[in-house]
């Protein structure tokens, strides 16, 4: 626990305004200590944070292009999905042009993703939630057509190997993203509420649990996922600010799935 801000703030406050100044100084000093501690916990200097954000953004679109080309051809759906991601990021027109340039570079037949993945790994370090979030973004592209083919799995395996994501972690994340994809498609095609059980199964999948879990286990899974995808925490670890919207969408989807499951359990 840090005390520097409280001590200095309290001392200066007392000199200026006696006991009232002391109290105000301690309050302001506490805020300083909290912000300083966040910086220490993230382990990132402003320079390193800027570098990580640049590398993360660049790698996102390069690998996205490689993944789209993995099955031999880039479908219109994959191009549209890439553009949707760019739109959700709130990129300026110039930024969108650069993102598409990177996407097109990545889908080049001879493009090698290993250097950019190694660069990302060096920047991310041990921030596992950030590495896993990167994988989730790529899986969203892969599931545009509803499944993973051999070429896509090879690219995803390269991502996991370099970023230190083991097979068990990959399968857990993969199942959640697949459930998210099905959940969205269900909402688009079953607006009348038909196949309610199928919708519920997707909701459990998003939470990474089965329908047989206890209420306590369900709540723990929900809280763990919300913590892993919390936008502020991801930004503190180095997630580019423009990708906050994707993190927010994921937390909203997790929240909707949890609310749906809880309501279904109460209605039994």
pLDDT at residue 48 in the model: 81
**Positions of the chain with pLDDT under 50:** 1-14, 16-22, 24-29, 31-41
| Number of domains forming the structure of the chain | 2
Q: How far apart are CA 185 and CA 166, in angstroms?
A: 29
pLDDT at residue 93 in the model: 83
In this structure, the answer to whether residues 13 and 142 fall within a common structural domain is: no
In this structure, the answer to whether residues 109 and 22 fall within a common structural domain is: no
Helix, strand, coil percentages, rounded to 5, for the chain: 80, 0, 20
Q: Which of 139, 140, 137, 129 is nearest to 224 (CA)?
A: 129
In this structure, the answer to whether residues 96 and 150 fall within a common structural domain is: yes
Residues spanned by the domain of 8: 1-42
Cβ(106)–Cβ(113) below 8 Å: yes
pLDDT at residue 82 in the model: 77
pLDDT at residue 30 in the model: 54
In this structure, the answer to whether residues 132 and 217 fall within a common structural domain is: yes
In this structure, the answer to whether residues 110 and 61 fall within a common structural domain is: yes
pLDDT at residue 145 in the model: 74
In this structure, the answer to whether residues 99 and 216 fall within a common structural domain is: yes
In this structure, the answer to whether residues 89 and 119 fall within a common structural domain is: yes
Report helix, strand or coil for 125. coil
In this structure, the answer to whether residues 130 and 244 fall within a common structural domain is: yes
CA atoms 245, 226, 143, 192: torsion sign? negative
pLDDT at residue 165 in the model: 96
145-170 pLDDT, tens digit each: 778 889 999 999 999 999 999 999 99
In this structure, the answer to whether residues 9 and 139 fall within a common structural domain is: no
In this structure, the answer to whether residues 21 and 153 fall within a common structural domain is: no
pLDDT at residue 49 in the model: 82
Cβ(69)–Cβ(107) below 8 Å: yes
Q: Which of 126, 132, 122, 218 is nearest to 169 (CA)?
A: 132
């Amino acid at each position: 626990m840090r005390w520097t801000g409280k001590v200095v703030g309290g001392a200066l406050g007392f000199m200026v305004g006696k006991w009232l100044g002391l109290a105000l100084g301690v309050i302001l000093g506490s805020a300083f200590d909290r912000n300083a501690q966040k910086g220490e916990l993230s382990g990132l200097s402003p320079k390193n944070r800027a570098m990580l954000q640049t590398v993360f953004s660049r790698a996102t679109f390069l690998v996205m292009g490689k993944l789209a080309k993995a099955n031999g051809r880039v479908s219109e759906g994959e191009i549209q999905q890439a553009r949707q991601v760019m739109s959700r990021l709130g990129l300026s027109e110039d930024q969108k042009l650069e993102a598409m340039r990177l996407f097109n570079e990545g889908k080049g037949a001879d493009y090698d993703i290993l250097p950019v993945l190694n660069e990302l790994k060096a920047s991310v370090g041990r921030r596992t939630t950030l590495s896993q979030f990167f994988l989730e973004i790529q899986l969203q592209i892969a599931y545009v057509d509803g499944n993973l083919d051999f070429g896509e799995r090879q690219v995803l395996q390269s991502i996991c190997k370099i970023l230190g994501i083991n097979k068990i972690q990959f399968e857990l994340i993969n199942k959640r993203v697949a459930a998210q994809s099905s959940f969205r498609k269900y909402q688009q095609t079953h607006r009348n509420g038909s196949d309610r059980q199928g919708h519920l199964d997707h909701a459990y999948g998003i939470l990474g649990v089965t329908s047989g879990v206890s209420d306590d286990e369900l709540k723990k899974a929900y809280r763990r996922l919300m913590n892993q995808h919390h936008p502020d925490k991801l930004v503190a670890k180095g997630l580019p600010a423009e990708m906050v919207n994707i993190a927010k969408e994921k937390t909203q989807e997790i929240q909707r799935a949890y609310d749906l499951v809880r309501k279904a359990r109460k209605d039994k």
